[in-house]
Amino acid sequence: MKRGMRAEDLYKLKSVKNPQLSPDGKNVVFVQTVINEDKHDYESHLFISDIDGKQVRQWTFGDGSDNTPAWSPDGRFIAFTSTRSGKSQIYLISAEGGEARQITSCLNGAKNPIWSPDSSKILFEGSLAPNEKLTDKKRDKKEKNGDKLPEPMVVERIRYKSDATGFLDDKNQHLGIVTVETGEVLQLTDGDRDHAAGAWSADGQSIVFSADLGEDPDFSHISDVYIMSLADKQLTKITPSTGFFGSPNYSPDGKYITLIGHEKEYKSATLSRVWLYELESQSLHCLTADLDIHVGDIAIGDFHSAIVDQGAVWTNDSKGFYFLVTDQGRTAVYYGTIEGEMYPAMNDNEHVYGMTINPDTHEAVAAISNPTHPGDLFKVNLSTGERTQLTYVNDDFFKDIELSSAEPITFDAPDGWEVHGWVMKPFGFEEGKKYPTIIEVHGGPHAMYANTYFHEFQMLASAGYVVVFTNPRGSHGYGQAFVDAVRGDYGGKDYQDVIAATDYAVEYLEYVDADNLGITGGSYGGFMTNWAVSHTNRYKAAVTQRSISNWLSFYGVSDIGYYFSEWEVGGDLIEETEKLWKHSPIAYVSKVETPLLILHGEKDYRCPIEQAEQLFVALKKQKKETKFVRFPEANHELSRSGNPKLRIERLNHIKVWFEEYLD
C-alpha cells in the first residue's frame, strides 16, 4: 500500500544538479546532495556517469560538501570546491579517480573554478576584506575562545548587509588565478567592489568578468561586463552602464562574447535577454529583443538549491549557442545564432534546471524535474529531442510513495487578462467528495511557479488538501507586459488575480469545498497573504511566511528596501510615504478576521523579522486568532536551503495550522 508524502521525507530525497560533460563527451560529472539526518545538515559529493548511464559512480567522499565541478579542457582533471578543510577551497581530482588535492588555501576561501584553455591555470573568486590578499594564509588566533571583547560595527554605506551573507564586514568578491602545478596565486582585482568571474578568451590572454565599478554602487544598481588583459590587467568595459549584465562567455573562435542581461527599462521587472558583443567592431547588440521571453531559469521550487546557470553556452563552430528560458510555466532550452535566429530545442512541460552540452554534437545532459519527479539527469539529442534517462536517484524511495500530479488550469481575471496555474488533487482522491483547498502564492513577485517538484505542495496534497497554485500578474513567463503589470499596484490587479484563482476553483472544480479555503505564501506571497486576509474573509485559515506587512519600515530595514520599494511599490520615505502606507497590509489590520499563522526566520535580512513582529503585535492587541513561530539563525531561504530540521518544522507548522482550522 502506497502512502502520500510527509514533511520528514525531505530527509530521504536526493538532489542531482550541475552536470558537466567531459571534453570527449563520454562522461558526465554531477553533484548529488543528501541530508544527513543525524547531523541535520547537507552533504554533497561528486558522482560520475558514462554518457549512457550504464555506470554511475561516486567520485568524492568524506566530510564536507563538494560542489561546482569543472573538467580541465584536456580531460585529465576535475576541479571542484569543497568545505572539507573548513572554508570552501578549490581541489583537483584525477579523471581516473584517486585522492583529491587542495590547490588553494585562500584566507576566506575560494569558489567558482574556471579552467584556462591550456588546462594550466584556474580563474576563481575569493572574498577579501580591506588590506587582505588572496595569498594571505590563515592567521593564528590571538584570543582564546570567549576572551575576545565585543567591538562596535561602524556603518558608512547603505549596503552593509545581505540576506545571503549577513553583515558584510567590508568584504568583497575578488578574482584570482591559481597555477595548477605550483599552487601560485595571482590576484587580479582589489578595492571595495564585488567581481564575478566569467570566462577565458580562446587564446588564454584575457578574461571576462562582471562588476559594478561605478562611483557609488549603493545607488548605481548596475552590473557591467569587462575584458581584462592578463598581460597588464588593463580593463575594457563592453556594456553601457545602463543595467544588469553578466554570465559572459567567449565564442570558441574568440570573435564574440555572449552576455545575459537587460537595461532596467522596467527596473526589477525587466526581462533578461541574450546580447552579443563583437570584439572586432567593439559593438554590442541584443539578439532576443523580439523574443518576449525571460532568459534564464527563474522557476520557484523548494527542493534544489545552489543551481549554476552557465548563461549562453557556445557550440564549437562559433555560430550558435544554447540557453535556458522561463516561459509559460516551463523552463526550456533554446538555440540561438549570431544572426539572431532563435529556436526552441527542449520545450516540454517540465523544469530544466541545469544543462551541459557537447559543443560538437549538439547533445546535452540536462537536469530535469516535473511535479511528480524531483529531478534526474537525462541525455538529450537537442536536434531530434530523443532522450535517455541517466540517473534514478529517488526511484527506490518512490516505490512506496504516491505523488499528486499537477493539472494545468487557465482562467480570466475580472479585466480579461488570462492567468495560468495548476491544481493538485489530494492523496486518495474520491469522486463526489469535497475537499478543503489551499491557495498558494509565490514570492518575487517576479518569479514563476512551474512544472517542477514542490515538496510543500506534495505534503499538503498528502494531508488531504486540494492545492491550487497560479502565476498572477507580476510573474515571469508570460511576457514583459505581464511581469511589469504589478509595479505600483501591489494589492490591486494582482490581488484580483488571486481571488480569480479562488473563484475558478470554487466554480469549476466540483471537488473543492467552498466553505473550507486556506491561503499561504512566502515573501511577496506572504505580502499577498497578509493583503488577502485584510481585504476578505472568505479564507478560513491563512499562513504568512517571511512576509512584508509594512512598506514604510521595510524601506529602511531590508537589504534591498531602499530601492525595491521605489521600483516596485512606487513610494519612498521622503516624498511618497502615503503610497507606501496605502499598499501596506498592516494599514488594514483591523479588518483581519482570518486565523493567521506567522512564520519568519530571525536572520532574514530580505524581509526582516520586524515585519512579522509588527503584524503579530497588531493582531494580538485586537485579540485576533494568531500564532508567531520564529526560526533561529534562518534567513530568507529557509524553505529552500535552510537548516533541514527547521525546514521540516516549518512544513509541519503549516500542516497543523490548516488541520486546526479547515474541516
Provide the pLDDT confidence category of residue 146 given band limits of 50, 70 and 90.
low
State the SS3 of 361-376.
CCEEEEEEEECCEEEE
pLDDT band at residue 143 under the 50/70/90 scheme: very low
Cell of 627: 500564532
Q: What is the mean pLDDT of residues 282-289?
A: 98
Average pLDDT over residues 161-187: 92
CA dihedral 204, 210, 211, 213 (to 10 degrees): 70
For 181, other C-beta atoms within 10 Å of its C-beta total 9
In this prediction, residue 348 has a pLDDT band, given cuts at 50, 70 and 90, of very high
Give the rounded distance of the alpha carbon of 343 from its chain centre.
25
Average pLDDT over residues 536-560: 98
Q: What is the pLDDT of residue 145?
A: 53
Nearest CA among 228, 224, 226, 265 for reference residue 245? 224
3 state SS of 466: strand
Phi-psi domain of 101 (left: phi exceeds 0; alpha: psi -120 through 50; beta: other): beta
Q: Residue 291: which of 327, 253, 249 has the closest Cα?
A: 327
Quick one: cell of 332? 526550456
Rounded (5°) CA angle 456-457-461: 120
| pLDDT (mean) for 149-157 | 89
HEC sequence for 92-115? EEECCCCCCEECCCCCCCCEEEEE
Alpha-carbon span 151 to 312, nearest angstrom: 46
**What's the rounded mean pLDDT across residues 217-236?**
95
Task: Report d(CA 439, CA 505) in Å as an integer.
Answer: 9
Which pTM was predicted?
Answer: 0.96
Q: Would you name the residues annotated as active-site residues?
A: 523, 636
d(CA 602, CA 76): 46
Alpha helices in 208-273 (DSSP H): 217-220
What are the pLDDT digits (tens) for 575-630?
999 999 999 999 999 999 999 999 999 999 999 999 999 999 999 999 999 999 99
CATH architecture of the domain covering 410-549+584-661:
3-Layer(aba) Sandwich (3.40)
Is the confidence at residue 343, as pLDDT, over 60?
Answer: yes
pLDDT (mean) for 182-206: 96
Q: What percent of the chain has pLDDT over 90?
A: 90
3-class DSSP state of 455: helix
The span from the CA of 353 to the CA of 371, in Å, is 13
Percentage, residues of the chain above pLDDT 70 = 98
Q: Are strands 512-522 and 435-441 parallel, antiparallel or unpaired?
A: parallel
The pLDDT of residue 663 is above 90: no
